[in-house]
Structure 1
Amino acid sequence: SIWCLKSKNVPTSGCTFYTRHFLCFSVDSPSRQDDEHKLIARYTTRLPLTLILHIINFDANKQKRELIAQLESKNREILAEIKRLRAEHDAVCQPSPEKGSTNPTLLAELRLLRQRKDELEQRMSSLQESRRELMVQLEGLMKLLKDEEQRQAVSSYPFLGNTETVGFSPY
């Protein structure tokens, strides 16, 4: 059998020739494979650059589409997992009446937590009251300190001692 390619443009089928240059190979020829590779290399150098870029872009676009499909599939899996976890969380957070009455451990823990919360609130209230009392004491001490400073200032300046009779006040 004979295999034919024309040397310009595109390989032909049925050995139809448009140009005067062509190659015919015997299928059993030992140099057939080498000649094929040379012919393919020569043919690809004649391909327009835009066609080569189109083929490369098509392959890259195909890979991108495959990657997008994989990512979309993974996204659907993740969203399904999120939905499942939310449903599970909602089921735990909103116990039905029959669940609440049948789980004494949870009820006991809830009771202890509420009791601890009440104790902490009472402690906080007590600390706030102590703070208010300390603030009142601090204000009283500051007033006493200020009065003492005024008395010392008056006693160190004897000529200011009669300020009440003259109507003069150092402060």
Structure 2
Amino acid sequence: MSARIRLEDRECPLSQTIQHVGEWWTLLILHDAFDGYTRFDQFQENLKISSSMLTTRLKTLVADGLLERRLYQRHPERYEYVLTDLGRSLRPVIVSLAAWGNSRLDPRKRSMILVDAETGEEVEPVVVDQATGRRVDTEEFVFTAGPAASEAMRARYEQATASGT
């Protein structure tokens, strides 16, 4: 029987991340925030999302520390939602997801592309090791149990190592 890590165990960093950004509206709201949207009506108009769903998602993003809610008008009270440092740290994830989606499309069917802001040239993002600059999307890089891994997590990776995967 294989050792499995259940999502509810939340030991795996992937499951912890999905807990914060796994709901698709969350990723779309964050994408809009990276594009400079800060106000409720801007998010709602662009995403065509119900006000109740948007309210719920924004509250969660604030509670998770990804957005900060700031008063920008007193009468009537109005708030804007601004990316925190933690929220901004998700930019590479959003960029990578968009690039992955675009890589599966005919270039003429892409509605959004990533470009160098200075030159306007389209760029292809890749994930690299910060120390070496090597791409980490190859089989040369694998996951293994970390220092805080449970016995189940250690067993999972020992099994993977033994089988060569």
Question: TM over 0.5, yes or no?
Answer: no
Q: Which has the higher contact order (CA 8 A, sep 6+)?
A: 2
> More helix per residue: 1 or 2?
1
TM-score (norm 2): 0.13
Give the alignment's TM-score, normalised by structure 1: 0.13
Computing the radius of gyration from Cα coordinates, the structure with the larger value is 1
